[in-house]
Structure 1
């Protein structure tokens, strides 16, 4: 079974559309979204509509949760967020806030004898950063009872074995932090005999389109430039 895991779209419709095109070419059996559909980007309602139209199972991200409650409960109170959060709270339709609020905090699947758990941050905290070499990541994987943990939130893709467990971070579709303006997502292929193969795919898209939209909407230059540089 081949699964495409996407996350951190952050209101970037152009990136999501291009990634879904690439996923369709990979002939996957299932797509799972790890959350953060909204925040930063100018297309939150359109992104939610596309995820729902494609019937993609999705979990709640920390920015999704903050847009629902309208507070800095799960995100940092930074200069960028002081613009981005109120903008998204005002822009996201009430019906879409209900959708975001209804999303689960994790998804679990048993595939060919392999237990795969999808979370946004860590299994215990929606906004915990799990970097592959972090001490908290090592502890998380030690405590983890499944076989494969798939997470996001850092916007930096990675894959690492922790003894007999596998850690995967899928990166970000809509707001990458890899030093390039490209989308990333993970392909997780679990064979009939339970062998797991993971590849990180990097997809180019027309990032100048979202830059243009942000400029037209008078978004802060820090947001606009992040799409060009692939950095925070």
Structure 2
């Protein structure tokens, strides 16, 4: 079995298309999405359509929750709140009621069978929160307490921090997928994770996909996205 895990698309449909093409070239059997589909990019509706067309397993991210109910004080830095609320409204206005209901109804976590012997527990930030931040440099004890609560799982995968990594703790695997649409690790290539398994054997690896980021920036200008400077800062590298 070969499963592709993608996360943190953030309305970047151009990146989604590039990643899906790469996944198809690697002959993945399944795609699982770990949230943050629409918000903070120029093509929220097309990004959602691309994901829904796959009929994948999808779990909810904090940005999906924000699209549904708005951003509350204390959830983002005070100096960013007004602009992020403007971006949220811009995004929500471009989605249908059915789209909003879809995001609202997403589950917070899921367990995926890579093989009959290997289970993968997936969630956006932690199993108990859409918003908690677990950094790549956290001590093993912190990672275990926040991310590895499902004792039956062998692999734990999450998104949210946009920083891809793989770690091994007490015989189990923990990994962050990075971000398809807004990577924060200084490389503007889309990031996702591929897991392959047979019986008790498996391997996981971060995949990076180069695409035309200038196309995303042009699109943001064409549709009058309210915060194009943010996209330029992340993608124009």
TM-score, length basis structure 1: 0.92
Give the CA deviation at 1:128.
1.4
Contact map agreement 1:39 1:63 (CA 8 A) in 2: yes
Secondary structure at the counterpart of residue 57 of structure 2:
coil
Q: Which runs of 5+ in 1 are unaligned?
A: none
Aligned residue number for residue 130 of structure 2: 126
Matched, 1:104 2:107: yes
1:125-164 correspondence runs (5 A): 125-135=129-139, 136-141=142-147, 143-145=149-151, 146-164=153-171
Match of 1:201 in 2: 207
**TM-score scaled to structure 2, two decimals?**
0.90
Distance 1:142 1:54 in 2: 28
Cα distance change, pair 218–51 in 1 and its aligned pair in 2 (3 A): closer
Q: Counterparts of 2:29 and 2:175 in 1: how far apart (Å)?
A: 18
In structure 2, the CA distance between the partners of 1:113 and 1:92, relative to structure 1 (3 Å rule), is same
Over 3 Å counting, the alpha-carbon distance change for 1:21 and 1:73 in structure 2 is farther
Q: Is the 8 A contact 2:71 2:85 kept in 1?
A: no
Query: Residues of 1 paired with 2:208 and 2:12: CA distance?
Result: 16
Q: Secondary structure at the match of 1:161?
A: strand
Q: Runs ≥4 in structure 1, deviation > 3 angstroms?
A: 141-144
Partner secondary structure for residue 153 of structure 1: coil
**Residue-by-residue CA offset, 1:165-222 (whole Å, 9 max, x unaligned):** 1101000001111212110000011122x12211101001111111011123153243
Aligned length: 229
Which secondary structure does the structure 2 equivalent of 1:104 belong to?
A: coil
Distance 1:39 1:112, change over 3 A: same
